[in-house]
A and B are shown apart, each in its own frame.
Chain A
Amino acid sequence: MPEIKDILLGNQRAGARMIRLIEEGSPKAFPLLKQLYPHSGNAFIIGITGSPGVGKSTLMDALILEFRKRDKRIAVIAVDPSSPFSGGAILGDRLRMQRHATDEAVFIRSMASRGQTGGLSRATKDTAIVLDAMGYDIILIETVGAGQGEFDIASLAHSTGIVSIPGTGDGIQAVKAGILETGDVFIVNKCDRPGADASVHALTMMIGMRNRGTQLSNPSPKWTPLVLKTKALDGTGVDELADTFLSHFDFLKKNSLTDQTKRTQETLYFKSLLNDLTLEKIRSFMEASPKYDAVLKKIQTHEMDPISAAEHVVNTMIILK
Protein backbone atom coordinates (compact mmCIF):
# COMPACT_ATOMS: atom_id res chain seq x y z
CA MET A 1 0.00 0.00 0.00
CA PRO A 2 1.56 3.34 -1.07
CA GLU A 3 1.96 6.09 1.54
CA ILE A 4 0.59 9.57 0.88
CA LYS A 5 3.73 11.25 2.15
CA ASP A 6 5.92 9.25 -0.22
CA ILE A 7 3.69 10.12 -3.18
CA LEU A 8 3.80 13.81 -2.27
CA LEU A 9 7.58 13.60 -2.04
CA GLY A 10 7.57 12.35 -5.61
CA ASN A 11 8.69 8.79 -4.81
CA GLN A 12 8.23 6.96 -8.13
CA ARG A 13 7.60 3.56 -6.62
CA ALA A 14 4.83 4.92 -4.37
CA GLY A 15 3.30 6.94 -7.23
CA ALA A 16 3.38 3.94 -9.55
CA ARG A 17 1.65 1.70 -7.03
CA MET A 18 -1.01 4.33 -6.45
CA ILE A 19 -1.66 4.50 -10.19
CA ARG A 20 -1.95 0.74 -10.29
CA LEU A 21 -4.65 0.85 -7.59
CA ILE A 22 -6.56 3.43 -9.62
CA GLU A 23 -6.29 1.40 -12.78
CA GLU A 24 -7.61 -1.70 -11.08
CA GLY A 25 -10.53 0.16 -9.58
CA SER A 26 -9.36 -0.84 -6.11
CA PRO A 27 -11.48 0.39 -3.20
CA LYS A 28 -8.22 1.60 -1.64
CA ALA A 29 -7.77 4.18 -4.40
CA PHE A 30 -10.49 6.73 -3.55
CA PRO A 31 -9.49 7.46 0.05
CA LEU A 32 -5.90 8.07 -1.10
CA LEU A 33 -7.00 10.18 -4.07
CA LYS A 34 -9.05 12.40 -1.81
CA GLN A 35 -5.94 13.19 0.17
CA LEU A 36 -3.92 13.87 -2.98
CA TYR A 37 -6.50 16.08 -4.62
CA PRO A 38 -5.73 19.27 -2.64
CA HIS A 39 -2.10 18.96 -3.72
CA SER A 40 -2.99 18.86 -7.41
CA GLY A 41 -3.82 21.68 -9.82
CA ASN A 42 -0.32 23.00 -10.38
CA ALA A 43 0.83 20.99 -13.37
CA PHE A 44 0.50 22.07 -16.98
CA ILE A 45 -1.30 19.27 -18.82
CA ILE A 46 -0.57 18.84 -22.53
CA GLY A 47 -2.45 16.39 -24.74
CA ILE A 48 -0.94 14.98 -27.93
CA THR A 49 -3.35 13.36 -30.35
CA GLY A 50 -3.48 12.34 -34.01
CA SER A 51 -3.86 9.37 -36.35
CA PRO A 52 -1.90 6.14 -35.80
CA GLY A 53 1.73 6.33 -36.77
CA VAL A 54 2.01 10.10 -37.33
CA GLY A 55 4.85 10.18 -34.78
CA LYS A 56 3.15 11.15 -31.53
CA SER A 57 5.45 9.07 -29.30
CA THR A 58 8.58 10.18 -31.14
CA LEU A 59 7.43 13.76 -30.73
CA MET A 60 6.79 13.24 -27.01
CA ASP A 61 10.34 11.91 -26.71
CA ALA A 62 11.72 15.06 -28.35
CA LEU A 63 9.43 17.27 -26.24
CA ILE A 64 10.66 15.64 -23.02
CA LEU A 65 14.20 16.57 -24.07
CA GLU A 66 13.23 20.19 -24.74
CA PHE A 67 11.31 20.58 -21.50
CA ARG A 68 14.21 19.05 -19.58
CA LYS A 69 16.48 21.70 -21.13
CA ARG A 70 14.07 24.23 -19.60
CA ASP A 71 14.50 22.45 -16.28
CA LYS A 72 10.94 21.12 -16.03
CA ARG A 73 10.00 17.87 -14.34
CA ILE A 74 7.98 15.77 -16.77
CA ALA A 75 5.41 13.03 -16.37
CA VAL A 76 4.02 11.08 -19.30
CA ILE A 77 0.85 9.06 -19.68
CA ALA A 78 0.90 7.08 -22.93
CA VAL A 79 -2.33 5.34 -23.85
CA ASP A 80 -2.40 2.47 -26.32
CA PRO A 81 -5.42 0.40 -27.37
CA SER A 82 -6.47 -2.81 -25.64
CA SER A 83 -7.26 -5.78 -27.84
CA PRO A 84 -11.05 -6.12 -28.06
CA PHE A 85 -10.58 -9.88 -28.33
CA SER A 86 -8.33 -10.77 -25.42
CA GLY A 87 -8.45 -7.59 -23.33
CA GLY A 88 -4.67 -7.63 -23.36
CA ALA A 89 -2.47 -4.96 -24.89
CA ILE A 90 0.94 -4.19 -26.28
CA LEU A 91 2.03 -0.89 -24.83
CA GLY A 92 4.64 0.29 -27.32
CA ASP A 93 4.67 4.09 -26.99
CA ARG A 94 7.25 3.94 -24.26
CA LEU A 95 9.76 2.30 -26.59
CA ARG A 96 10.31 5.67 -28.29
CA MET A 97 10.98 7.51 -25.03
CA GLN A 98 13.22 4.95 -23.35
CA ARG A 99 16.31 7.19 -23.34
CA HIS A 100 14.59 9.17 -20.56
CA ALA A 101 13.90 6.10 -18.42
CA THR A 102 16.70 6.74 -15.96
CA ASP A 103 16.22 10.51 -15.68
CA GLU A 104 14.87 10.99 -12.17
CA ALA A 105 12.89 14.05 -13.24
CA VAL A 106 10.92 12.02 -15.78
CA PHE A 107 8.15 9.53 -15.03
CA ILE A 108 6.59 7.52 -17.86
CA ARG A 109 3.45 5.42 -17.40
CA SER A 110 1.99 3.30 -20.20
CA MET A 111 -1.70 2.64 -20.03
CA ALA A 112 -4.13 0.44 -21.97
CA SER A 113 -7.42 2.00 -23.08
CA ARG A 114 -9.35 -0.98 -21.64
CA GLY A 115 -12.35 -0.58 -23.88
CA GLN A 116 -12.75 3.13 -23.31
CA THR A 117 -13.41 5.12 -26.50
CA GLY A 118 -12.24 8.70 -26.89
CA GLY A 119 -8.53 7.98 -26.88
CA LEU A 120 -7.98 7.76 -23.12
CA SER A 121 -8.64 5.17 -20.43
CA ARG A 122 -10.91 5.53 -17.42
CA ALA A 123 -7.89 5.84 -15.17
CA THR A 124 -6.20 8.66 -17.09
CA LYS A 125 -7.80 11.57 -15.25
CA ASP A 126 -7.07 10.22 -11.78
CA THR A 127 -3.56 9.27 -12.83
CA ALA A 128 -2.97 12.88 -13.86
CA ILE A 129 -4.03 13.96 -10.35
CA VAL A 130 -1.44 11.64 -8.81
CA LEU A 131 1.35 12.86 -11.12
CA ASP A 132 0.33 16.46 -10.46
CA ALA A 133 0.46 15.89 -6.69
CA MET A 134 3.87 14.24 -7.11
CA GLY A 135 5.14 17.62 -8.24
CA TYR A 136 5.68 17.20 -11.97
CA ASP A 137 5.59 20.57 -13.75
CA ILE A 138 4.27 19.19 -17.00
CA ILE A 139 2.11 16.17 -17.72
CA LEU A 140 2.24 14.97 -21.33
CA ILE A 141 -0.58 12.68 -22.40
CA GLU A 142 -0.51 10.68 -25.64
CA THR A 143 -3.91 9.42 -26.73
CA VAL A 144 -4.64 6.26 -28.65
CA GLY A 145 -4.04 6.97 -32.34
CA ALA A 146 -7.57 6.39 -33.50
CA GLY A 147 -7.79 9.10 -36.13
CA GLN A 148 -11.05 10.75 -35.22
CA GLY A 149 -13.09 11.50 -32.19
CA GLU A 150 -10.37 11.81 -29.56
CA PHE A 151 -12.05 14.78 -27.96
CA ASP A 152 -11.79 13.56 -24.39
CA ILE A 153 -8.26 14.86 -24.21
CA ALA A 154 -9.40 18.44 -24.77
CA SER A 155 -11.48 18.32 -21.60
CA LEU A 156 -8.54 17.05 -19.58
CA ALA A 157 -5.60 18.99 -21.01
CA HIS A 158 -4.87 22.71 -20.80
CA SER A 159 -3.28 22.54 -24.21
CA THR A 160 -4.01 20.09 -27.01
CA GLY A 161 -1.55 19.41 -29.82
CA ILE A 162 -2.93 17.75 -32.92
CA VAL A 163 -0.35 15.91 -35.00
CA SER A 164 -0.69 15.22 -38.70
CA ILE A 165 1.74 14.44 -41.51
CA PRO A 166 2.24 15.95 -44.97
CA GLY A 167 0.00 15.01 -47.81
CA THR A 168 -2.55 12.74 -46.16
CA GLY A 169 -5.51 15.07 -46.44
CA ASP A 170 -5.57 14.94 -42.65
CA GLY A 171 -6.47 18.61 -42.59
CA ILE A 172 -9.71 18.03 -44.42
CA GLN A 173 -10.45 15.01 -42.25
CA ALA A 174 -9.89 17.16 -39.20
CA VAL A 175 -12.52 19.62 -40.25
CA LYS A 176 -15.00 16.87 -40.94
CA ALA A 177 -14.41 15.24 -37.60
CA GLY A 178 -14.53 18.54 -35.75
CA ILE A 179 -11.00 18.03 -34.46
CA LEU A 180 -10.09 21.55 -35.54
CA GLU A 181 -12.12 23.05 -32.71
CA THR A 182 -10.20 21.18 -30.02
CA GLY A 183 -6.64 21.97 -31.12
CA ASP A 184 -4.48 24.70 -29.60
CA VAL A 185 -1.36 23.81 -31.53
CA PHE A 186 -1.26 22.00 -34.86
CA ILE A 187 1.84 20.03 -35.70
CA VAL A 188 2.81 18.84 -39.14
CA ASN A 189 5.32 16.12 -38.24
CA LYS A 190 7.61 14.22 -40.63
CA CYS A 191 8.28 17.54 -42.37
CA ASP A 192 11.24 15.81 -44.01
CA ARG A 193 8.63 14.38 -46.35
CA PRO A 194 7.30 16.24 -49.40
CA GLY A 195 4.18 18.37 -49.07
CA ALA A 196 4.78 19.74 -45.56
CA ASP A 197 4.43 23.40 -46.54
CA ALA A 198 1.20 22.70 -48.39
CA SER A 199 -0.21 20.99 -45.28
CA VAL A 200 0.83 23.91 -43.08
CA HIS A 201 -0.81 26.30 -45.51
CA ALA A 202 -4.07 24.33 -45.65
CA LEU A 203 -4.27 24.04 -41.86
CA THR A 204 -3.52 27.73 -41.36
CA MET A 205 -6.35 28.66 -43.70
CA MET A 206 -8.81 26.40 -41.95
CA ILE A 207 -7.89 27.77 -38.55
CA GLY A 208 -8.36 31.28 -39.89
CA MET A 209 -11.90 30.40 -40.89
CA ARG A 210 -12.59 28.73 -37.58
CA ASN A 211 -11.50 31.80 -35.66
CA ARG A 212 -13.59 34.19 -37.66
CA GLY A 213 -16.57 32.04 -36.75
CA THR A 214 -15.93 31.98 -33.02
CA GLN A 215 -14.80 35.58 -32.58
CA LEU A 216 -18.28 36.86 -33.33
CA SER A 217 -19.94 34.68 -30.75
CA ASN A 218 -17.30 34.98 -28.04
CA PRO A 219 -15.68 38.32 -27.27
CA SER A 220 -13.26 37.06 -24.57
CA PRO A 221 -9.52 36.93 -25.41
CA LYS A 222 -8.89 34.14 -27.84
CA TRP A 223 -5.78 32.07 -28.42
CA THR A 224 -4.95 31.81 -32.08
CA PRO A 225 -3.78 28.26 -32.74
CA LEU A 226 -0.39 27.96 -34.37
CA VAL A 227 0.71 25.54 -37.04
CA LEU A 228 4.25 24.22 -36.67
CA LYS A 229 6.45 21.91 -38.69
CA THR A 230 8.52 19.28 -36.91
CA LYS A 231 10.78 16.37 -37.64
CA ALA A 232 10.42 14.48 -34.39
CA LEU A 233 13.11 11.96 -35.34
CA ASP A 234 15.92 14.49 -34.89
CA GLY A 235 14.05 17.15 -32.92
CA THR A 236 13.86 19.75 -35.68
CA GLY A 237 11.22 22.35 -34.78
CA VAL A 238 10.55 20.83 -31.37
CA ASP A 239 12.26 23.68 -29.45
CA GLU A 240 9.75 26.06 -30.98
CA LEU A 241 6.94 23.62 -30.23
CA ALA A 242 7.93 23.45 -26.56
CA ASP A 243 8.01 27.25 -26.36
CA THR A 244 4.62 27.46 -28.06
CA PHE A 245 3.04 25.14 -25.50
CA LEU A 246 4.58 27.14 -22.66
CA SER A 247 3.37 30.43 -24.11
CA HIS A 248 -0.12 28.97 -24.46
CA PHE A 249 -0.04 28.11 -20.78
CA ASP A 250 1.10 31.67 -19.97
CA PHE A 251 -1.72 32.99 -22.10
CA LEU A 252 -4.26 30.89 -20.19
CA LYS A 253 -2.87 32.01 -16.85
CA LYS A 254 -2.73 35.69 -17.83
CA ASN A 255 -6.36 35.66 -18.88
CA SER A 256 -7.49 33.63 -15.86
CA LEU A 257 -8.46 30.88 -18.27
CA THR A 258 -6.72 28.19 -16.26
CA ASP A 259 -9.30 28.72 -13.52
CA GLN A 260 -12.04 28.44 -16.08
CA THR A 261 -10.49 25.29 -17.54
CA LYS A 262 -10.20 23.88 -14.05
CA ARG A 263 -13.84 24.61 -13.25
CA THR A 264 -15.00 23.00 -16.48
CA GLN A 265 -12.82 19.97 -15.83
CA GLU A 266 -13.97 19.59 -12.28
CA THR A 267 -17.62 19.82 -13.26
CA LEU A 268 -17.13 17.18 -15.93
CA TYR A 269 -15.18 15.02 -13.54
CA PHE A 270 -17.84 15.37 -10.86
CA LYS A 271 -20.60 14.43 -13.30
CA SER A 272 -18.81 11.36 -14.59
CA LEU A 273 -18.06 10.22 -11.05
CA LEU A 274 -21.67 10.78 -10.12
CA ASN A 275 -22.72 8.63 -13.05
CA ASP A 276 -20.40 5.81 -12.01
CA LEU A 277 -21.24 5.92 -8.32
CA THR A 278 -25.00 6.17 -8.80
CA LEU A 279 -25.04 3.38 -11.28
CA GLU A 280 -23.00 1.21 -9.01
CA LYS A 281 -25.14 1.94 -5.98
CA ILE A 282 -28.39 1.26 -7.79
CA ARG A 283 -27.07 -1.85 -9.43
CA SER A 284 -25.76 -3.39 -6.26
CA PHE A 285 -29.00 -2.51 -4.47
CA MET A 286 -31.07 -4.15 -7.19
CA GLU A 287 -28.87 -7.18 -7.51
CA ALA A 288 -29.12 -7.84 -3.80
CA SER A 289 -32.89 -8.23 -4.03
CA PRO A 290 -34.47 -11.68 -4.49
CA LYS A 291 -36.86 -10.09 -7.01
CA TYR A 292 -33.92 -9.46 -9.26
CA ASP A 293 -33.05 -13.15 -9.40
CA ALA A 294 -36.65 -14.03 -10.03
CA VAL A 295 -36.80 -11.71 -13.03
CA LEU A 296 -33.48 -13.04 -14.31
CA LYS A 297 -34.86 -16.56 -14.18
CA LYS A 298 -37.94 -15.47 -16.15
CA ILE A 299 -35.71 -14.18 -18.92
CA GLN A 300 -33.80 -17.42 -19.04
CA THR A 301 -37.00 -19.45 -19.30
CA HIS A 302 -38.42 -17.03 -21.91
CA GLU A 303 -41.34 -16.11 -19.65
CA MET A 304 -40.36 -12.48 -19.97
CA ASP A 305 -38.61 -10.50 -22.69
CA PRO A 306 -35.52 -8.52 -21.64
CA ILE A 307 -37.14 -5.13 -22.35
CA SER A 308 -40.15 -5.77 -20.13
CA ALA A 309 -37.86 -7.28 -17.53
CA ALA A 310 -35.61 -4.23 -17.34
CA GLU A 311 -38.64 -1.92 -17.16
CA HIS A 312 -40.21 -4.05 -14.46
CA VAL A 313 -37.06 -4.01 -12.33
CA VAL A 314 -36.57 -0.25 -12.60
CA ASN A 315 -40.25 0.54 -11.99
CA THR A 316 -40.81 -1.76 -9.04
CA MET A 317 -37.48 -1.68 -7.26
CA ILE A 318 -36.32 1.91 -7.41
CA ILE A 319 -38.61 4.04 -5.33
CA LEU A 320 -37.88 7.69 -5.81
CA LYS A 321 -39.12 9.99 -3.10
Chain B
Amino acid sequence: METTHKIRVLIAKPGLDGHDKGAKIVALALRDAGMEVIYSGLHQTLEQIVQTATQEAVDIIGLSIMSGAHLPICKRLITMMKKQGLDDIRLTVGGVIPYQDIPGLKEMGVAAVFPGGTSFEDIITGMNNLFE
Protein backbone atom coordinates (compact mmCIF):
# COMPACT_ATOMS: atom_id res chain seq x y z
CA MET B 1 0.00 0.00 0.00
CA GLU B 2 1.06 3.55 -0.62
CA THR B 3 2.98 4.92 2.32
CA THR B 4 2.27 8.45 3.45
CA HIS B 5 4.16 10.04 6.25
CA LYS B 6 2.65 13.17 7.69
CA ILE B 7 3.96 15.01 10.70
CA ARG B 8 1.39 14.93 13.51
CA VAL B 9 1.52 17.76 16.04
CA LEU B 10 -0.35 18.26 19.29
CA ILE B 11 -0.82 21.93 20.13
CA ALA B 12 -1.75 22.44 23.75
CA LYS B 13 -2.13 25.30 26.21
CA PRO B 14 -1.18 24.20 29.69
CA GLY B 15 -2.47 25.85 32.83
CA LEU B 16 -4.82 28.76 33.33
CA ASP B 17 -3.32 31.10 30.73
CA GLY B 18 -6.11 32.04 28.31
CA HIS B 19 -4.08 33.56 25.43
CA ASP B 20 -5.02 31.27 22.55
CA LYS B 21 -4.50 33.56 19.56
CA GLY B 22 -0.91 32.44 18.95
CA ALA B 23 -1.72 28.74 19.37
CA LYS B 24 -4.61 28.89 16.91
CA ILE B 25 -2.67 30.86 14.29
CA VAL B 26 0.29 28.48 14.52
CA ALA B 27 -2.11 25.51 14.17
CA LEU B 28 -3.41 26.96 10.90
CA ALA B 29 0.10 27.69 9.63
CA LEU B 30 1.19 24.11 10.32
CA ARG B 31 -1.89 22.73 8.59
CA ASP B 32 -1.07 24.87 5.57
CA ALA B 33 2.41 23.38 5.65
CA GLY B 34 0.84 19.92 5.28
CA MET B 35 0.92 18.78 8.90
CA GLU B 36 -1.89 17.18 10.86
CA VAL B 37 -2.57 19.28 13.92
CA ILE B 38 -4.52 18.19 16.96
CA TYR B 39 -5.68 21.24 18.85
CA SER B 40 -6.66 20.25 22.35
CA GLY B 41 -7.69 23.66 23.59
CA LEU B 42 -7.15 25.79 26.66
CA HIS B 43 -6.50 24.87 30.29
CA GLN B 44 -4.84 21.52 29.75
CA THR B 45 -3.28 19.71 32.68
CA LEU B 46 0.08 18.09 31.99
CA GLU B 47 -1.57 14.70 32.55
CA GLN B 48 -4.05 15.49 29.77
CA ILE B 49 -1.23 16.56 27.47
CA VAL B 50 0.76 13.36 28.06
CA GLN B 51 -2.29 11.10 27.60
CA THR B 52 -3.36 12.95 24.46
CA ALA B 53 0.12 12.71 22.94
CA THR B 54 0.13 8.99 23.74
CA GLN B 55 -3.26 8.20 22.23
CA GLU B 56 -2.71 10.35 19.17
CA ALA B 57 0.84 9.03 18.63
CA VAL B 58 2.07 12.49 17.65
CA ASP B 59 5.59 13.33 16.52
CA ILE B 60 5.65 16.73 18.20
CA ILE B 61 4.09 18.38 21.23
CA GLY B 62 3.87 22.15 20.82
CA LEU B 63 3.12 24.07 23.99
CA SER B 64 1.96 27.64 23.82
CA ILE B 65 2.80 29.45 27.05
CA MET B 66 2.23 33.17 27.72
CA SER B 67 2.10 33.00 31.50
CA GLY B 68 5.83 33.07 32.19
CA ALA B 69 5.74 29.59 33.73
CA HIS B 70 7.49 27.87 30.79
CA LEU B 71 10.51 26.66 32.80
CA PRO B 72 8.69 24.67 35.51
CA ILE B 73 6.02 23.46 33.05
CA CYS B 74 8.55 22.09 30.56
CA LYS B 75 10.62 20.50 33.29
CA ARG B 76 7.65 18.63 34.75
CA LEU B 77 6.30 17.63 31.36
CA ILE B 78 9.64 16.19 30.25
CA THR B 79 9.83 14.08 33.40
CA MET B 80 6.30 12.81 32.79
CA MET B 81 7.01 12.06 29.12
CA LYS B 82 10.06 10.03 30.08
CA LYS B 83 8.07 8.07 32.62
CA GLN B 84 5.42 7.26 30.00
CA GLY B 85 8.10 6.16 27.51
CA LEU B 86 7.41 8.96 25.04
CA ASP B 87 11.11 9.34 24.18
CA ASP B 88 10.46 9.65 20.45
CA ILE B 89 8.14 12.65 20.80
CA ARG B 90 9.79 16.08 20.45
CA LEU B 91 8.72 18.85 22.79
CA THR B 92 8.60 22.39 21.41
CA VAL B 93 7.39 25.60 23.00
CA GLY B 94 6.25 29.04 21.83
CA GLY B 95 4.78 32.16 23.45
CA VAL B 96 6.25 34.78 25.73
CA ILE B 97 9.70 33.27 26.25
CA PRO B 98 12.59 35.60 27.19
CA TYR B 99 15.70 34.86 25.14
CA GLN B 100 17.81 34.22 28.23
CA ASP B 101 15.58 31.23 29.09
CA ILE B 102 16.16 29.41 25.79
CA PRO B 103 19.46 27.69 26.72
CA GLY B 104 17.88 26.42 29.95
CA LEU B 105 14.90 25.00 28.07
CA LYS B 106 17.14 23.29 25.52
CA GLU B 107 19.27 21.85 28.27
CA MET B 108 16.31 20.17 29.95
CA GLY B 109 15.38 18.57 26.61
CA VAL B 110 13.08 20.99 24.78
CA ALA B 111 13.80 20.36 21.09
CA ALA B 112 12.96 23.84 19.78
CA VAL B 113 11.77 27.19 21.12
CA PHE B 114 9.73 29.72 19.11
CA PRO B 115 9.36 32.97 21.07
CA GLY B 116 6.94 35.78 20.16
CA GLY B 117 7.75 37.34 16.81
CA THR B 118 9.10 34.16 15.21
CA SER B 119 7.94 34.02 11.58
CA PHE B 120 5.75 31.12 10.39
CA GLU B 121 8.46 30.24 7.93
CA ASP B 122 10.97 29.80 10.75
CA ILE B 123 8.46 27.77 12.78
CA ILE B 124 7.72 25.43 9.88
CA THR B 125 11.39 25.00 8.99
CA GLY B 126 12.20 24.50 12.66
CA MET B 127 9.54 21.79 12.99
CA ASN B 128 10.66 20.00 9.83
CA ASN B 129 14.29 20.16 10.91
CA LEU B 130 13.48 18.14 14.02
CA PHE B 131 13.46 15.07 11.80
CA GLU B 132 16.65 15.62 9.85
Contacts and interface: CB of A to CB of B under 8 A. Distances in A.
Given A24-B3, A88-B32, A94 B37 contact: no
A162 interface: no
Nearest to A83: B31
A86 B33 CA distance: 6
Contact of B55 (A26, A91, A108): A108
A304 B27 CA distance: 46
A19 B27 CA distance: 23
Nearest to A26: B3
B2 interface: yes
B40 A16 contact: no
Contact of A92 (B8, B34, B39, B54): B39
- Give the interface centre of B27, B37, B55 by most chain A CB atoms within 10 Å: B55
Interface residues of B, number: 34
A172 interface: no
A301 interface: no
B5 interface: yes
Contact of A20 (B30, B37, B57, B86): B57
Nearest to B28: A90
A98 to B, nearest CB: 6
A94 B56 CA distance: 10
Interface string A16-56: 11011001111100000000000000000000000000000
Interface of A is mostly: mixed
Nearest to B24: A90
A101 B3 contact: no
B57 A19 contact: yes
A253 to B, nearest CB: 29
A95 B10 CA distance: 11
- Give the interface centre of A12, A82, A87, A280 by most chain B CB atoms within 10 Å: A87
B45 interface: yes
B129 interface: no
A95 B39 contact: yes
A215 B3 CA distance: 46
Nearest to A92: B39
A280 B3 CA distance: 12
B56 A88 contact: no
Contact of B32 (A24, A85, A110): A85
A26 B6 CA distance: 12
Interface of B: 1-6, 8, 27-28, 30-41, 44-45, 47-48, 51-52, 54-57, 84-86
Interface of A: 12-13, 16-17, 19-20, 23-27, 82-83, 85-92, 94-95, 98, 101-102, 107-110, 112, 114, 276, 280
Given A90-B27, A108-B55, 16 more contacts: A16-B55, A87-B6, A88-B37, A90-B28, A91-B36, A91-B39, A94-B39, A94-B56, A95-B40, A95-B41, A98-B40, A101-B48, A101-B51, A102-B51, A108-B56, A112-B6
